[in-house]
Amino acid sequence: MTKPLPPTRLRDPGDLIAAVPHLLGFHPSDSVVVLVVRDHDVTMTLRADLPSSGVPRRVAERLTAPLAGCRGDDAVVVVIGGGSGDPPEDLPHDAVVDELDDALHAADVPLLLAVWTRATAKGERWFDYHDVGTSGTVPDPSSTAFAAASAAEGHVTYASREAMGDVLTPDPPDALSRRSTLLNRLAADHPPPDDETVPRRDRELIHAEVLRAATRKRLLTDEEVADLAHALSNPLTRDASLAYCVGEHAGSAEALWTELTRASPAPERAEAATLLAFSAYIRGNGTLALLALDRAEEANPDHRLTELLRAALNGGLPPTQIRHLAERVAATDWATPPTNLTEPRPRPT
């Protein structure tokens, strides 16, 4: 998936491998990663689990499907783990690399380099699949200029995909039950409006909590979670909140959506989780976006916006298009009912 990268050029294979955890948001294991490179800059990063024996073509098809808009760029393939082989002559999963080479050629994204390494850790050796004897070592992924630039932009790199997923683990059942009771009361006291506007109460609440998330040191109270979850349960309020996925408050908004994904009961959890997925998708963290969509689907299997965003992810829709949608939302006056029915509001649902 595409990631808006810090302006740091990557030239050496070791530097590319050290950048992979920051591009994905976690240190991968037993993975094959495709980096699309344009003028020494990585413009797209895709990852898949290494396949079991006999199915390399399926992985190659999955990794090259989103590359329709990358014709003329180059590709680097990094295989991580999956066995030790007998370097440098015998490297693990060479059949996967061969299938990817053919698939990338067909996509007009020629394979520039294919390397194997046991892990993305400091001092690990990397070996070239196509130039036997060419090898090197991986620099410390946490100490590179790319790592510094990524951290400065607020990107977090987790130790593993599982560690990233743990960030979205729902709160204990007793806490969720308390908040569900509060939500039922709010639903009875504050029914959704009849017109196509976002209630002022909701707009002011979301805006205040997004701003506060940047400096707040404590967790949200049950009452605060319930108020926010109730506001976002209105599809118009939720859609209007997509505006916070871009702009100066995007980082604090993502922190708020993350906390609400843990703290909200089902089915309301789906709204915050989908906002988190949008935010992660826009900034290029496809793994976090997919994990958030999993939480949304668990909370509400029939959630339409979740279905649409997952289809976009699976189809390789560039994050720039999702960003454009959020920018259109930000430019919309949600406090005034629409008057031109031929130009509907930019609601993804």
Are residue 214 and residue 67 in the same domain, yes or no? no
Are residue 175 and residue 289 in the same domain, yes or no? yes
Are residue 19 and residue 55 in the same domain, yes or no? yes
Are residue 144 and residue 209 in the same domain, yes or no? no
From the CB of residue 182, how many other CB atoms can be counted at a distance below 10 Å? Answer: 18
Nearest to 114 by CA among 91, 83, 137: 91
Question: Please, what's the b/e burial string for 147-175 (b: 16 or more CB within 10 A of its CB; e: otherwise)?
Answer: beebeeeebebbeebeebbebbebbeeee
Are residue 216 and residue 314 in the same domain, yes or no? yes
Question: pLDDT at position 284, please?
Answer: 74
Q: Find out whether 115 and 77 touch, Cβ atoms under 8 Å.
A: yes
Residues 6+ apart with CB under 8 A from 105: 111
Question: pLDDT at position 341, please?
Answer: 39
Question: pLDDT at position 62, please?
Answer: 83
pLDDT digits (tens, 9 = 90+) for 42-101: 878 889 899 876 677 788 888 888 787 788 889 999 999 988 777 878 899 999 999 999
Question: pLDDT at position 10, please?
Answer: 66
Question: pLDDT at position 4, please?
Answer: 47
Q: How far is CA 96 from the centre of its chain?
A: 25
Can you tell me the distance from the alpha carbon of 154 to that of 342, in angstroms, rounded to the nearest whole number?
Answer: 40
Are residue 80 and residue 127 in the same domain, yes or no? yes
Q: How far is CA 122 from the centre of its chain?
A: 25
CATH number for the domain spanning 84: value is 3.40.140
Can you tell me the distance from the alpha carbon of 74 to that of 80, in angstroms, rounded to the nearest whole number?
Answer: 20
Q: Could you tell me the mean pLDDT of each successive run of 10 residues in the chain, 349 residues long?
A: 52 89 91 88 85 77 81 92 81 92 93 95 95 92 86 82 93 98 93 78 94 94 97 92 92 95 97 95 84 96 91 77 84 66 51
Are residue 309 and residue 192 in the same domain, yes or no? yes
| 122, two tokens | 């400091």
Are residue 133 and residue 267 in the same domain, yes or no? no
| 22, two tokens | 């920051």
Indicate whether 184 belongs to any domain.
Answer: yes
Domain that holds residue 149: 13-161
Indicate whether 2 belongs to any domain.
Answer: no
Are residue 125 and residue 230 in the same domain, yes or no? no
Are residue 49 and residue 84 in the same domain, yes or no? yes
Are residue 27 and residue 152 in the same domain, yes or no? yes
Domain boundary among 93, 126, 161: 161
What is the amino acid identity at position 163? A
Q: Find out whether 240 and 221 touch, Cβ atoms under 8 Å.
A: no
pLDDT digits (tens, 9 = 90+) for 168-194: 999 999 999 999 999 999 999 888 777
What's this model's pTM, rounded to 2 decimal places?
A: 0.80
Domain count across the chain: 2
